[in-house]
Structure 1
Amino acid sequence: MTGVPAPPTIRRGSNLPRVGGYNQVVVLEAIRHHPEGLSRVELASATGLSPQAVSNICRRLLDDDLVVEAGRRASGPGKPRTLLRLQPSGRYAVGVHLDPAVVSHVLLDLTGQPVARSARALRPGADPDEVLRDVVEDVDRLVAGSGIDPGRLVGLGVAAPGPLDRAAGTLVRPPNLPGWERVAVRDTLADATGLPVLLDKDVVAAAVGEVWAGGLGPGATAVFLYLGTGVGAGLVVGGEVLRGASGNAGEVGHLGTGATGPSCWCGLGGCLGEVCAPGQVVRRAVREGIGHWDLDPAAPDLTDAGGPTVPPPAGDPLHPGASVLVAFDAFCDLADAGDTRALALLEDWARHVAKSVTDLVDVLDADHVVFGGPLWARLSPTFLTLVPALVRDRAVGAAIHPIAVRGTVLGPDVAAVGAASTVLDQAFSARSSALLVD
């Protein structure tokens, strides 16, 4: 099996006049899931709406420049039918990822394709207000440089490490962003940009991006393991991304990996967030004589196990921080160059990650595992060599259904792409809640 997503399940519409807005999104979503285009007759069949309702909706979508007529296709007797496809330039969304090391920005068109990208290193010592002012400037510059009509922007999505209060639009003291205590990210950026703003946890946003881009079919159940300055999991069940009661689903830093260390602030050893922290990997490489890197001792703790790590031993020059990513990159260079000890350390890391991923696969009965995040490009050769077989050998569901294990289709700025995708998803995905009447 190749792990290719199953054909999409199209939501059925309603012919009640008062839910025309919902029906319009149902039709738009059906068109989005078929990039090759659908005719009006096919749309009526797929959505369950009457031919007249579909005709009226398609006329509105064409008038709003959300879809475009894209050629004809013969289908049985009679004249060829006109196909409708999404108009990429019909609407746009901006995504921002507030990573502890770098702030990424991306502009997506209606099909979810990136139109423009930019990134800025997080200024050392910058407070939240300064960082958010930088975000506003960078978003303005990104949109202006792209040449798009700002009036076609649907909104701004922001992805950030948790915990966060999604309902309030605030970050709630994320361990990887020291000093961000109850920061009103959503309202601050909405006031400054004049755009609607959505705030999501970065791993949740990454999973939304993977679904929106078509990397996961509408019926997929998946674990998206995000590997960056910290580690987290985006969870997808039946094509729906799980956010949890407060928007903080995916905190997997304390899952056991089967390792005996390093020590975690929770009092146990071998927690996934510690084992996967790039600083811990570099520190272990130094202890084992693989290399030596002197890092900034004043750099803040950037591990993501849900709280501060146990301080390093006295005299240890390595402190996890932004510059640890430079050392981690150098360590990966050694592995790529054939250093057997560095490669063995990466392989050991992959085995421990596979154990935790398998636990998540079993909990969800998942049929997809997707890896992504800033570190993924350096890890993918080793992880894709070892992890797929380990997961399939150990996961309970593997005896019943295939489990696809792969890297993200979205690239290293998957969280920023996902943040923009949450805006498109909110605006253009059919939701049953839209049928509720107060």
Structure 2
Amino acid sequence: MGDFNRSVIFDAIRRAPEGRSRVELVEMTGLSTQTVSNIARRLLDDELIVEAGKASAAGLGKPRTILRLNPEGHYAAGVHIDPAVITFVLLDLTGQVVAHNRLKTPTAADPDHVMARIHDRFEQLVAESGVAREKIVGLGLAAPGPIDQERGIIVDPPNLHGWHRVPLRDALEASTGLPVLVDKDVTAAAVAETWVGGETGTGSFVFFYIGTGIGAGLVLGDELMRGVSGNAGEIGHIVTDPDGPPCGCGQRGCIAVTITPQSMVDEAEATGVLAPAPHETPREIDAQFDLLCEAASNGDAAAGAILDRAADRTARAVAALTNLLDVDRVVFGGPFWARLEARYLERIPRLLDEYSATSAVRGLGVAGTGVGDDVAAVGAASLVLERSFTPSATRLLLD
């Protein structure tokens, strides 16, 4: 209970960049004045928060001391393994990126080689950041699912050939000496939104992740939903177009074959919008997708129609999720999002109003992530901060 109360106070301060007074914390949390004072003192002693001056409240007596997060109190590292690129970040306690690096994902199907490269680039990141090693509380790693979260293993991810039950957590803990958390990239992206996304990361929302594959991160009542095995959000076989292309699962028109970047490139080449080119690897898909989006931006009606159809299908997929979960909003993000943002935000909100089961009761918020293209890497580091410092019902369970 003490750990839970500590995390409640810390989280209340974290969610107010301008800071909060002890009196406000008592009012917000329902904890006693003595409890709040004791917890605040421990957080100050641990250098997790600082006293940031005083603020006057009209007619409420003497000025109150404001408590804010100490950005330099602790740091967390994050790594996102994408089939095309591996991204590294180091976050301070407020979620701001203080160091950043990238590495093209090696094409060889050799996980040991990739893990050695990750270790070397991580050490370079830390050295260049100037952050003291003992200030880094852990390393988060985000990767395509499915994962075995309990064992920290990546299980046969699509587009990472040869990665069969790779023990990433144990290998990186041994090489870095840090605690390592492994989670899905879509889950990490949702955590990034809750940690640094501001208003869009509060309450209940679906994070719709557009990467080489499509997935969803789920947050209900400010708490991340991982599922029994840690693999919630695998939505690739929701049908968005019953007359669409056949899918390997036996259905037609699944997300996996209608709204992924590769499926849009396939359609563009089949209809002559793009000249055929190799696009078997994630890097090749990215290059062709760039050409498609550029053509649409330059007024090519056929290219624009492909993106518009993908937006319409995406709206149907999102509606299936939001109708099921009854959330406040959907947040879009991922490495391919920036190229789709303007067109999708123009079409999808209107379609969701039509498809939403609760449109007569309330509107459904639609937003793009404010975290940026590196949302999964930021989320990987945020996993460490979230696990260490935010309140969760599991903190109340005894082993």
TM-score by length of 1: 0.88
Tell me how far apart the structure 1 counterparts of residues 2 and 219 of structure 2 sit (CA, whole Å).
29
Q: Distance in 2 between matches of 1:333 and 1:152?
A: 43
Q: Find the aligned partners of 2:49 and 2:125 in 1 and give their Cα distance.
A: 25
Output the CA distance in 1 between the equivalents of 2:99 and 2:40.
29
Percent sequence identity over matched residues?
A: 50
Question: Hey, what's the Cα distance between the residues in 2 that align with 1:400 and 1:219?
Answer: 20
Contact 1:233–1:250 (8 Å) recurs in 2: yes
Decide which of 190, 196, 200 is 1:207's aligned counterpart. Answer: 190
Hey, what does 2:286 align to over in structure 1?
325
8 Å CA contact retained: 1:207, 1:234: yes
Tell me if 1:148 matches 2:117.
no
Q: Secondary structure of 1:43's partner?
A: helix
* 8 Å Cα contact 1:279-1:320 kept in structure 2: no
* Partner residue in 2 for 1:125: 108
Deviations along 1:375-406, one digit per CA (max 9) or x if unpaired, are 10111111111011001121011221221111
Determine whether 1:94 maps to 2:77: yes
User: Residue 346 of structure 1 is aligned with which of 298, 303, 307?
Assistant: 307
| Paired position in structure 1 for 2:362 | 401
Aligned ranges for residues 302-317 of structure 1 at < 5 Å? none
**Ranges in structure 1 where 5+ consecutive residues have no aligned partner:** 1-18, 296-317
How big is the shift at 1:322? 2.8
In the alignment, is residue 272 of structure 1 matched against residue 286 of structure 2?
A: no
Instruction: Kindly report which structure 2 residues correspond to 1:15-164, keeping only aligned pairs within 5 A, or say none.
Output: 19-75=1-57, 76-164=59-147
How does 1:361-372 map onto structure 2 within 5 Å?
A: 361-372=322-333
Note the C-alpha offset of 1:231. 0.6
1:200-239 aligned at under 5 Å gives the runs 200-216=183-199, 220-239=203-222
Contact 1:116–1:142, Cα closer than 8 Å, also in 2: yes
Provide closer, same or farther for how the CA distance between residues 209 and 227 of structure 1 changes in structure 2, counting only shifts above 3 A. same
Where does 1:188-207 land on structure 2 (aligned, <5 Å)?
A: 188-207=171-190
SS at match of 2:182: strand
CA separation of 1:410 and 1:360: change in aligned 2, threshold 3 A: same
- Which segment is superposed worse, 38-47 or 179-188? 38-47
Residues 338 and 373 in structure 2, CA contact (< 8 A), matched pair in contact too = yes
Is it true that 1:169 corresponds to 2:152 in the alignment?
yes
Cα distance in 2, alignment partners of residues 74 and 377 from structure 1: 42
Paired AA for residue 348 in structure 2:
V
Q: Distance in 1 between matches of 2:200 and 2:290?
A: 33
Tell me how far 1:65 sits from its aligned partner.
Answer: 1.1
| 1:232–1:72 distance in 2 versus 1, CA, 3 Å | same
Q: Please say if residues 143 and 150 of structure 1, whose CA atoms lie closer than 8 Å, have aligned partners that are also in contact.
A: yes
Distance 2:394 2:309 in 1: 46
- Give the TM-score, by structure 2 length: 0.96
Q: Aligned partners of 2:31 and 2:274: how far apart in 1? A: 65
Which residues in structure 2 correspond to 1:239-254 (within 5 Å)?
Answer: 239-254=222-237
User: Structure 1 CA distance, aligned partners of 2:304 and 2:200?
Assistant: 34
Aligned length: 398
Alpha-carbon spacing, 1:41–1:233, altered in 2? closer, same or farther (3 Å): same
Looking at structure 2, the residues matched to 261 and 343 of structure 1 have their Cα atoms a distance apart, in angstroms, of 18
Query: Pairwise CA RMSD of aligned residues?
Result: 1.6
Residues 286, 354 of structure 1: alpha-carbon distance in 2 compared, 3 angstrom cutoff: same
Query: Aligned-pair distance for 1:217?
Result: 6.2
**In structure 2, which of residues 246, 255, 269 is the aligned counterpart of residue 263 of structure 1?**
246
In the TM superposition, structure 1's runs of 4+ consecutive aligned residues that sit over 3 Å from their partners are 214-219, 318-321, 435-438
> C-alpha deviations, 1:146-203, integer Å up to 9, x for none?
1112111110001111111001110111122111111101111111101100011110
2:72 counterpart SS class: helix
Q: 1:25 to 1:319 in 2, by over 3 A?
A: closer
Q: Tell me by how many angstroms 1:237 deviates.
A: 1.5
**Cα deviation per residue 1:341-362 (whole Å; 9 max; x = unaligned)?**
1011111111111111111111
SS at match of 1:181: coil
User: Which one-letter code corresponds to 1:206 in the other structure?
Assistant: A
Q: Secondary structure of 2:2's partner?
A: helix
